[in-house]
Amino acid sequence: MALFEKKSVFRKFIDSITMAVYDNPELGPEFLEQLEESLVMADVGIETSDKIIDELNKAINYHHITREREIKKELTRILEELMDKGERNLMSKDYPLIILMIGINGGGKTTTIAKLAYMYKKQGKNVMLAAADTFRAAAAEQLQLWGERVGVRVIRHAEGTDPTAVIYDAIQSAKANDVDVLICDTAGRLQNKVNLMKELEKMSKVISREYPEASRENLLVLDATTGKNAVSQAAEFSGVSDITGIVLTKMDGTARGGISITITDEFDMPIKFIGVGEKMEDLVPFNAHDFVEGIFDE
């Protein structure tokens, strides 16, 4: 993956493997403790880190591993098994498709919507956007600008109106215009979390009622640079919405990357895409093998 060509987001973790082997040639408890600490520092959760270290310890003992290269090989296998969700890592290929975009403000949700619209349009799909974040000032205007840049229609209402009404109108328009992919923005913040979650539930019910034949994807957009806060968001949103996949944004910056491993393990959520830049093409379909190979690619 292009993400890892010059600088791995796990660079410190990879370097720590070399250092840990050098400091602990016997690969005993001290080595494993040092390695686990490095995993946690790379934003891998404690429970997930424990699982990885336990598996690695079994492999070391079973295969009598003594070399750094062999350790990296086993870690590659372990991480890939944790992150590979099979076909669940893929977007639905059934159309019409409605994608509900979920996530807090500032996480890259709007730009991700634009990138998805661009991707589907390049595939020859008829794409429409629904500006259902009617509570954030200028949210609809921002989405309208992206729609114009990409060349797709945007359904919007006045600021402060019922967001579910926007979804309803967008569905009717999508039906009338043979839209293949309807991508719906949602509010990232309301007066309190209860109101936000209730709004998401309302939207989902309207989609199911008005367009039951459409396939669905509920994508949770998470900023990879927020680390453990992203884990909290995954826990909150998964409690009220059937999240079908994760989009991890800002993986080209200061993100340490371990959050991707934690979420796929602790919540059994497949990653669908990774955002690696600001360009329209910088939304990479997730592939567990390529991702993990990229971590250890030197």
User: Domain boundaries in the chain?
Assistant: 2-86, 90-296
Res 18: pLDDT = 67
Average pLDDT value for residue range 258-266: 88
Task: Render pLDDT for 196-216 as a digit per residue (tens, 0 to 9).
Answer: 778 888 999 999 999 999 999
Res 1: pLDDT = 44
Res 32: pLDDT = 86
Q: Are strands 245-249 and 271-275 parallel, antiparallel or unpaired?
A: parallel
Tokens linked to 291:
């991702």
Higher pLDDT, 110 or 239: 110
Task: Render pLDDT for 109-124 as a digit per residue (tens, 0 to 9).
Answer: 999 999 999 999 999 9
57 residue type, one letter: N
Residue 125 CB neighbour total at 10 angstroms: 16
Res 191: pLDDT = 42
Residue 249, SS3 per DSSP: strand
For the domain covering 2-86, report its CATH number: 1.20.120
User: What is the second-level CATH architecture of the domain 90-296?
Assistant: 3-Layer(aba) Sandwich (3.40)
Q: What are phi and psi of 122, to 5 degrees?
A: -65, -30
Please report, for the chain, how many H helices and E strands are present, in that order. 11, 8
The whole model's pTM is what? Answer: 0.89
